[in-house]
Amino acid sequence: MANYKLPISQINQLFKNKELKPSELYAETFERAAITESIIHGHLELFQEENLKKALNSDKRYEKGKNLGNLDGIPIAIKDNINISGYATTCSSKMLSNYISPYDATVITRLKNEGALFTGKTNLDEFAMGSSTENSAFGPTKNPWDTSRVPGGSSGGSAAVVSAGSAIASLGSDTGGSIRQPASFCGVVGFKPTYGTVSRFGLVAFASSLDQIGPITNHVEDARLIFNSMKGHDPSDATSLIESKAKQPKLKNAKIGIIKELMEDGISEDAKKEVHKVAKLLEAEGHEIVEVSLPLTKMSISIYYLIAPAECSANLSRFDGVRYGNRVSGSTSSEMMELTRANGFGPEVKKRILLGTYALSAGYYDAYYGQALKARSMMKKEFTDVYEDVDYLISPTTPSDPFKFGEKSDNQLEMYMSDLCTIPANLVGMPAISIPTGLSSQGLPLSVQIMSPSNTDNTLLDFSESLESLVAFSDKPVINGVVS
C-alpha cells in the first residue's frame, strides 16, 4: 500500500522508527497531486513550497525522538471556507476572490499545535451551498472514480483529494450533509461531529445553527484522531459546547434501527441493498436489527430549506462591498452594494438569500421560519424518543451513487433530495458518519450512514471502526491509469 493510504497511526510509527520522513511523505503526496489535480481540480491552491519547509522541521523533530503530536508531519487539505492566516479564503466565490485571511480558525490552530501540515485549500460549492461542487466560481471538481460524475458537495474538493491520494485527510464543513455526501460519492469516510463539539470560529458561516466542521479520511481511526485533536470548548465560539457526559450506546450486542422512511421512495435499489448487506453483517456479530419509524424525516428537506436560507440571508448580509471582499463601484452607497452583491454572488447563493429573506420578512416569519423551528423541535424529540429504544440508527448516506454533471442542475428538487438522508443529523445536532461499504451496479461507491445520540461521538467512531473492518471495503479509483 502507498504511504498516503496507510492509517495515520501507522504513518506516525514509520516516522518514529525513522523508516519514513515527513518531507518524503509530503513529496509523495505532491507527486500524487501532479497526477490528479489537472484531472479532478480538487485543490484551489497548493501550499507546496512553504509547507515543504515545515515538513523538514518535522523531520528534525523526529530525528531527535520528539514530535508535536500524532498529526506531526501529516498532510491535511482544508476546505476553502476555513480561515488560515496569510492565505486566501474564497469560499469558491467571486465575492471573496481577493480576500486574504488575517487569522487562523480555531481548528487550524489546534491542528498546527499537533504539527499537521496543510496541502492547500480545496474547492467547494460557493459558500458551501450545493450538493455537487458544480456551483464553484472556479469550476467544478470531478469525481476520481468517474470524471463524468460529480464528487458531491459542498465539500467535493475535500472528499476528492482524499480519494485521489493528494492528501492524507481533509477538513470539510457539514450543514446538511456536506461532509458525508461527498465522502460517500468518493468512497471515503466522512464524519460530522455533534454540533458544538468542534469550534466554528474561523469557519465562514452559512447556517450557524447547522454548520459543523469535521474530517474526511481513508480510515475511521483517522477520523477519530483528527476529531479528538480539534474538539473542545472554545470561548471564541458562542455555540461551542462545554464537554458534558452522556449515556453511551453499546458497542457489543447493540440494538440498531434501520430508518423506515429512508428506505422508501427516492432511494435506489443499490443503496437499499447496501443497508441490508451491512445489517446482516452486524446481525452475525450479535447485534439486534430492528426497523424504526421517524415520520418527520420526510419533512427534513422542507424544514432545512427554510432554516438554512434564513440563516444564510442573515450571515451573508456582511458581504456588501464595504467590509469584506470585492467591490463594484456605484454612484451611491446603495447602488454600490447592489452591484457588488449582484456581481459577486452566483445564482444558487442569490436564490437562497432571496428565499431566506422572504421567510424572515414581516408577515411571513411565523408562517415559514417560525413553523420550521417548531417542526425541528418536534424532530429532535422524535429522535430522542427512538434513542430510548435503540443504540444506533442506520440508513443509506445518499439516495444513489454519484450522478453525472448537469444531470440534476435543471431540477433543483432532485438536487436537494441528494441530502435527504443526511439533513436530519444536522437538524437534530447528533453525530453521523458515512462509511464506504461497496459498489453500485455501475461500479461506483456506495456508503451507509450510522448515527448516534448527541455527545456520543467517540463511541460512534469505535462502533464504526468495527463495522469498517467487517465490511472490508478496499476498492480504489483509477486516475490517469494509476490506482489511488
Catalytically active residues are 79, 154, 178
Unique residue bearing C-alpha cell 447563493: 349
- Give the residue ranges of DSSP H helices in 316-450: 333-344, 347-360, 371-386, 412-416, 423-428
DSSP-derived 3-state class of residue 332 = coil
The three three-digit cell numbers of residue 297, written as one number = 424525516
Q: In what order do the strands lie in the sheet with 117-122?
A: 43-46, 117-122, 75-79, 169-173, 213-217, 189-192, 432-439, 445-451, 392-396, 255-259, 288-292
User: Is there a contact between 459 and 249 (Cβ–Cβ < 8 Å)?
Assistant: yes
Cell readout for 43 is 485543490
The Cα–Cα gap between 327 and 127 comes to 18
| Cell representation of residue 467 | 463495522
Q: Residue 37 in contact with residue 46, Cβ under 8 Å?
A: yes
454: cell is: 448527541
Instruction: Please name the residue ranges forming H helices in 217-346.
Output: 220-230, 269-284, 300-315, 333-344
**Rounded to whole angstroms, how far apart are CA atoms 400 and 265?**
12
On the question of a cis peptide bond just before residue 154, with omega within 30 degrees of 0, the verdict is: yes
